[in-house]
């Protein structure tokens, strides 16, 4: 029997042997997640990747007469795919607001994949449906306030879509004819967010027909948090122009600086003007799980809705994104289509079907892995994880502040985002406030150059970006830093300084 | 060391042992996929599920002081979750337009989970980015026509979102000021779809601010395919009312009957009136892979865009949904926000970043498993899979037609959807056309009752629904029927008749 038949399902035993071998490769990969000696990335140019797969006889290109390959070739291709994929599980992957998931989350997700069902009806997903109901109820209690009394919610495909849900529900509340009539002929609705908010608010505005002109961007303090007085002024100005303010999208944990908007002040303004307050807590909401740090989210319980991405700070595989609202039943009232082929009221337990609440049809059972991980860690496990990430961020910030020479802090930290410059020796001492434009421009080239070098050698992967008048700076985020230690950070800064010094002495 | 520590990542070896054991449970589960003796579902009421998990000490409820459980308890919970989850992998699962994925697809998806990265930038997902580019290029060539020359596309979270993309791009083409200005103050755009189209078009219309009033539902023939003359009449009428027609959402493979709209005629109308033609091929597009049956999709290559869900008919785990358009570069032109923290032009290979094309930010690398499976099966493997599903549908339809007594066909089949009634002995011979309203009502109770019984005994799971004037009828769909044989169908119909006869003689 050749390898081809072995994976096509016609020879079950062979296909199962294949899957077992594949699982072995993958569990070995996961087991190596804490290996400091492994490269964070072996970033290859596209040509190199094409060549590697060609050599296996499993070209990345799919030909016009594509022939099956053997299972041995497939296993080899898996290994190459792993070798060249960025190791988000590496302790030194700081590039984005996610990291390597832990084995329990992976197991939960693999189970969902193996059962391959949809979280749309109870009859095809009874366990996953109840897990979703229970996890959402727990999260609502963690939020507290009105959410602990009544709530509604869903697991959705990503934080951007969660923010879209917030704007969508708000609009349907503000304009009950909207669903039927559409926007044309209706009120000119106006939404508000901050200059540091995630771009998904803007995408939601352009997708939903609000228009970017009607999403007012409110200025922020230097730390990235919205000025509430500026918000109120913008609301008043919009009303004077004849607009109908309906929605404020605030942020708890901005993408770059990790800033928390002043939620109580924003809620107060929203209550006074009768606007829907949605909190983008995709990044920051997990801090609710730490008794020490949950004050950062104070006031979130007064919001109308919020987003929370457990795949960011809770060690779970992508995607695991939650939309929560304190308004019970609003999702079904807004989104239900009552499709008679799917949500038949005359089938068993149909009252538990979750699918008609959504803007999707099929929907992955993303709740199960979170339920599973929460059972494994308990509240205490998540609390210590959060506290550990916060303590690493504090350590790194203090270390950079103490240095102030090779490393300069961009701005005091709010959360686990630590933003800083590495300063080439010839530019030291560097003072951002007093820098000329040409010095800023020169500094803006440093992070890309140093990052490229670190990618070439496979060292820590750290994002960079410009922000306002600040040229490109590094951002280290602690998202999934369970096993990271302060000595890792000491060594990392040492190496960065060495790489940079070497690069800038050439 | 207790079980708690074993999965929290503090004791890596223990956590890895846990994952290996979990993988063993899951590969055993997948290996049993063809087991005819297994129950398709052991549908339990919620109370029973709560009780079972309680007994393991892993309550489905998450308490206010949730404590960690042991890894032994977690493994036991996995087993219970599997036992009570609907076996979509069972050859007799016909409930929806998906089924059990094959081992190669599962392996591809498990790999994506293990690496846990995002298909937004090349630097964090180089292999997955190239796989997405290459699979989309292959699919565009399979579609042919203009798509083979130029195309754009994305993997998106489900077919509903794919249809949303179609409407969204069309609207931005029809009203270039839309993104900035929003819908208010712009033209009153009007879209068209058919009475048998999927409800996602309606959800897209209400989400995007078009409004359900501006989505005109065009009548269908009895087989479920749109009347092109009625479409053109509706377009003309909408113009006369002052509307601006901009979009037709047709369907290739309707959800219930599996009907294919007359794509060439619809494209002709769209070209004449300058409307965007989007084809919802989430269910039907896979037929392009069969030389024998691809004529069902003839004309799709003239469309502006189409949806295609490989997770339905191509044996892949959820989600695997593709949006394709012949308009190169349109996704980025419409959706780009150019977020400077993510799509930095000054990082390596940023020209390959796919994320700015999307309405999401994070996005699962759903392309990889399809690339992987295509390598495994080759074009021929997919062709024989499609041909097998079609031959099973033809066999079942003929068998029901030959019977006509206990089993009555609802309407001649277009695709792999076979829609039929089981008739209780007291109602035979039954003629739908001549049935009185009370007879129809009586018949409408039969499918729910018989299905509930079959769920109770764990036999085949078959969807039912009413449609227009037809009361509830059964729908068997062959979505993932690689190992299903005609003798399985013979035995199934025999058992259904036995169950029903027994139920209706009590």
CA distance B171 to chain A (A): 10
Residue with tokens 């599903």: B389
Residue B341 has what pLDDT? 84
* pLDDT attached to residue A4: 38
Tell me if chain A has a CB within 8 Å of the CB of B11: no
**CA-to-CA distance for A359 and A498, rounded, in angstroms?**
51
Rounded mean pLDDT, B57-71:
95
CB A251 within 8 A of CB A297: no
d(CA A328, CA A185): 29
Q: What is the DSSP letter of A474?
A: E
A380 inside 8 A of chain B by CB: yes
**Mean per-residue pLDDT of chain A:** 95
pLDDT in the model for residue B1: 28
Q: How many CB atoms lie within 10 A of CB A506?
A: 4
Give the closest residue to B296 by CA, choosing from B254, B327, B326: B254
% of chain B surpassing 70 pLDDT: 98
Smallest Cα–Cα separation from A3: which of A24, A29, A28, A22? Answer: A22
| Cβ within 8 Å, pair A376-B30 | no
pLDDT tier at A52, thresholds 50, 70, 90: very high
Q: Look at B111 and A348 and tell me if their CB atoms are within 8 Å.
A: no
Inter-residue contact B248 to B269 (CB < 8 Å): yes
Task: Establish if A276 touches chain B: CB-CB under 8 angstroms.
Answer: no
pLDDT given at position A338:
81
> Would an 8 Å CB–CB cutoff place B202 in contact with chain A?
yes
Average pLDDT of span B390-408: 97
Does residue A353 sit in helix, strand or coil? coil
Two tokens, residue B335: 């959706």
A17 touches chain B (CB under 8 A): no
**Of the candidates A223, A202, A200, which has an alpha carbon nearest to the alpha carbon of residue A211?**
A202
In this model, does residue B5 exceed pLDDT 50? no
Under a CB-based contact definition with an 8 Å cutoff, are residues B286 and B386 in contact? yes
At A5 the pLDDT is 38
Judging contacts by C-beta atoms under 8 Å, the chain B residues touching residue A138 are: 62, 66
pLDDT tens digits, A272-291: 999 999 999 999 999 999 99
| Contacts for B398 with CB less than 8 Å, ≥ 6 apart | none
B157 vs A33, A157, A335: nearest CB = A157
Confidence of residue A12 (pLDDT cuts 50, 70, 90): low
Q: What's the predicted TM-score (pTM) here?
A: 0.96
Q: Which two tokens stand for residue B37?
A: 């003796």
**Range A237-241 average pLDDT:** 98
- Compute chain A's Rg from CA coordinates: 25
* Stronger pLDDT, B338 or A243, i.e. the higher one: A243
Does A186 touch chain B if contact means CB atoms closer than 8 Å? yes
What gap in Å lies between CA B388 and CA B313, rounded to an integer? 11
What average pLDDT does this structure show over A394-413?
Answer: 97
Residue B131 sits at the chain A interface (C-beta within 8 Å) = yes
Per-residue pLDDT at B269: 98
Tell me the residues of chain A between 352 and 371 that have a Cβ less than 8 Å away from chain B. Answer: 352, 359-364, 368, 371
Nearest CB to A213 within list B181, B203, B362 = B181
Q: What is the mean pLDDT of chain B?
A: 95
CB of B101 less than 8 A from some CB of A: yes
pLDDT value, residue B2: 33
**pLDDT tens-place string over residues A23-47:** 999 999 999 999 999 999 988 999 9
* DSSP string across A61-117: S--TTPPP--HHHHHHHHHHHHHHS--TTSTTEESSS--PPPHHHHHHHHHHHHHT-
Interchain contact B469–A (C-beta under 8 A): no
Per-residue confidence band for A437, with pLDDT thresholds at 50, 70 and 90:
very high
What does the alpha-carbon distance between residue A91 and residue A482 come to, in Å, rounded to a whole number? Answer: 8
B117 CB within 8 Å of a chain A CB: yes
What is residue B99's predicted lDDT score, i.e. its pLDDT? 87
pLDDT tens per residue, range A152-209: 999 999 999 999 999 999 999 999 999 999 999 999 999 999 999 999 999 999 999 9
Distance in Å, alpha carbon of B404 to nearest chain A alpha carbon? 24
Residue B7 has pLDDT above 50, yes or no: no
Pairwise CA distance, residues A129 & A366, whole Å: 10
Q: What confidence category does residue B199 fall into, taking pLDDT thresholds of 50, 70 and 90? A: very high
Q: Which residue has the tokens 């097998």?
A: B388
d(C-alpha B380, C-alpha B237), whole Å: 47
CB burial of A370-379 (b: ≥16 within 10 Å; e: otherwise) equals bbbbbbbbbb
- Label residues B260-298 b or e (16+ Cβ within 10 Å = b): bbbbebbbbbbeebebbbbbbbbbbbbbbbbeebbebbe
Per-residue model confidence as pLDDT tens digits over A414-424: 999 999 999 99
Q: Dig out the tokens for A19 from the structure.
A: 């899957």
Does the pLDDT at position A74 exceed 70? yes
Q: At what angle do helices B46-56 and A126-143 cross, to 10 degrees?
A: 70
Residue B3 has pLDDT above 80, yes or no: no
Residue A102 touches partner B, C-beta closer than 8 Å: yes
* Integer angstrom CA distances of residue B426 from A72, B404, B439, B500: 58, 15, 11, 11
| Average pLDDT, integer, range B217-233 | 98
Looking only at the bridges linking them, the beta strands covering A321-325 and A152-156 are antiparallel
Chain B residues with CB under 8 Å of A179 CB are 206, 211-212
The pLDDT score that the predictor gives to residue B11 is 52
Helices (H), B346-485: 367-403, 437-444, 446-457
Instruction: Give the Cα separation of A151 and B282 in Å (integer).
Output: 33
Q: Which residue of A has its CA nearest to B363?
A: A158
| First and final C-alpha spacing in chain A | 58
Question: B215-218 and B189-194 as β-strands: parallel, antiparallel, unpaired?
Answer: parallel
Asked whether the predicted pLDDT for residue B69 surpasses 50, the reply is yes
Q: Are strands B189-194 and B244-251 parallel, antiparallel or unpaired?
A: parallel
Residues of A in contact with B94 (CB under 8 A): none
Comparing CB atoms, the residue among A62, A207, A214 nearest residue B359 is A207
Question: Does residue A469 belong to the interface with chain B, where contact is any CB pair within 8 Å?
Answer: no
Quote the pLDDT of residue B345.
Answer: 87
Whether the pLDDT of residue A137 is over 70: the answer is yes
Contact A34, A483 (CB under 8 A): yes
Q: Please classify residue B338 by burial: count the beta carbons closer than 10 Å to its beta carbon, then call 0-12 exposed, 13-18 middle and 19+ buried.
A: exposed
* Interchain proximity B472–A214, CB inside 8 Å: no
Cβ separation A211–B181 shorter than 8 A: yes
Q: Is A254 within 8 Å of chain B by CB?
A: no
Q: How does pLDDT run across A308-342, given as a tens digit for each residue?
A: 999 999 999 999 999 999 999 999 999 998 888 88
pLDDT at residue B481, as a whole number: 81
Task: Looking at the complex, report in whole angstroms how far the Cα of residue A403 sits from the nearest Cα belonging to chain B.
Answer: 25
Mean pLDDT of B282-297: 98
Q: Which of A2, A5, A9, A51 would best serve as a mutation to test chain B binding (most B beta carbons within 10 A)?
A: A9
Q: Are A251 and A296 in contact (CB under 8 A)?
A: no
> Cβ of A23 and B18 within 8 Å?
no
What does the pLDDT average to over B487-506?
96
Residue percentage of chain B with pLDDT more than 90: 91
pLDDT exceeds 70 at position A6: no
pLDDT of residue B12: 64
Query: Residue B6: what pLDDT?
Result: 40
Indicate the SS3 state at residue A45. Answer: coil
Instruction: State whether residue A372 sits within 8 Å of chain B by CB.
Output: yes
Which chain B residues contact residue A95 at CB under 8 A? 123-124
Task: Provide the β-strand partners of residue A307.
Answer: A280, A323
**Helix or strand or coil: residue A299?**
coil
pLDDT-derived band at A11 (thresholds 50, 70, 90) equals low
Judged by CB atoms closer than 8 Å, whether chains meet at A348 and B208 is answered as no
Using the predicted structure, report yes or no on whether residue A2 has a pLDDT greater than 70. no
pLDDT exceeds cutoff 60 at A7: no
Which whole number is the average pLDDT over A362-382?
97
Tell me the C-alpha distance between A244 and B184, whole Å: 12
pLDDT in tens, B171-185: 999 999 999 999 999
CB-based contact, B67 to chain A, within 8 Å: yes
**How distant is the Cα of A287 from the closest Cα of chain B, in angstroms?**
16
Distance CA A161, CA A142 (A): 22
pLDDT tens-place string over residues A85-118: 999 999 999 999 998 889 999 999 999 999 999 9
pLDDT at B337: 87
* A405: pLDDT strictly greater than 50: yes
Q: For residue range B325-362, what is the model confidence (pLDDT) as tens digits?
A: 999 999 999 999 888 888 888 888 999 999 999 999 99
- At A425 the pLDDT is 97
Question: Which of B14, B375, B456, B466 to mutate against chain A (most A CBs within 10 Å)?
Answer: B375
Please tell me if residue A329 touches chain B, with a CB cutoff of 8 Å. no
């Amino acid at each position: 029997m050749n390898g081809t038949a072995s994976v096509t399902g016609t020879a079950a035993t062979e296909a199962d042997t294949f899957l077992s071998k594949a699982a072995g490769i993958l569990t070995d990969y996961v087991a190596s997640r804490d290996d400091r000696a492994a490269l964070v990335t072996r970033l290859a140019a596209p040509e190199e990747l094409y060549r590697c797969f060609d050599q296996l006889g499993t070209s990345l290109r799919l030909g016009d007469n594509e022939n099956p390959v053997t299972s041995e070739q497939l296993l080899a291709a898996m290994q190459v795919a792993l070798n060249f994929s960025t190791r988000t599980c590496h302790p030194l992957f700081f590039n984005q607001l996610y990291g390597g998931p832990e084995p329990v989350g992976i197991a939960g997700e693999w189970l969902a994949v193996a059962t391959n069902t949809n979280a749309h009806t109870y009859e095809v997903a009874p366990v996953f449906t109840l897990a979703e109901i229970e996890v959402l109820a727990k999260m609502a209690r963690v939020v507290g306030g009105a959410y602990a009394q009544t709530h509604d919610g869903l697991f959705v495909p990503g934080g951007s879509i969660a923010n879209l849900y917030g704007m969508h529900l708000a609009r349907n509340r503000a304009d009950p004819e909207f669903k039927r009539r559409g926007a044309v002929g209706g009120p000119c609705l106006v939404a508000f967010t901050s200059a540091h908010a995630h771009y998904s608010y803007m995408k939601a505005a352009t997708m939903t027909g609000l228009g970017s002109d009607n999403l007012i961007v409110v200025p922020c303090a230097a730390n990235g948090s919205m000025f509430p007085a500026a918000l109120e002024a913008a609301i008043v100005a919009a009303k004077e122009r004849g607009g109908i303010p309906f929605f404020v999208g605030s942020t708890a944990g901005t993408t770059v600086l990790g800033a928390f908007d002043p939620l109580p002040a924003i809620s107060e303004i929203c209550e006074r003007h009768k606007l829907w307050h949605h909190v983008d807590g995709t990044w920051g909401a997990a801090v609710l799980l730490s008794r020490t740090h949950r004050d950062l989210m104070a006031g979130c319980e007064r919001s109308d809705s919020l987003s929370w991405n457990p795949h960011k700070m809770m060690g779970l595989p992508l995607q695991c994104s939650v939309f929560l609202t304190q308004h019970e039943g609003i999702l079904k009232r807004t989104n239900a289509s009552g499709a008679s082929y799917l949500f038949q009221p005359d089938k068993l337990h149909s009252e538990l079907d979750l699918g008609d609440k959504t803007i999707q049809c099929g929907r992955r059972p993303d709740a199960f892995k979170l339920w599973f991980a929460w059972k494994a860690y308990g509240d205490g496990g998540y609390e210590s994880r959060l506290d550990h990430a916060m303590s690493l961020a504090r350590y790194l910030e203090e270390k950079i502040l103490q240095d102030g020479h090779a490393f300069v802090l961009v701005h005091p930290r709010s959360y686990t985002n630590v933003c800083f410059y590495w300063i080439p020796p010839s530019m030291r001492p560097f003072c951002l406030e007093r820098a000329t434009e040409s010095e800023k421009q020169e500094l803006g080239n440093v992070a890309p150059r140093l990052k490229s070098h670190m990618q070439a050698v496979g060292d820590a992967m750290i994002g960079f970006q410009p922000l306002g008048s600040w040229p490109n700076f590094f951002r280290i985020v602690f998202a999934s830093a369970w096993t990271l230690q302060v000595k890792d950070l000491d060594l990392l800064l040492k190496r960065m300084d060495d790489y940079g010094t070497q690069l800038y002495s050439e």
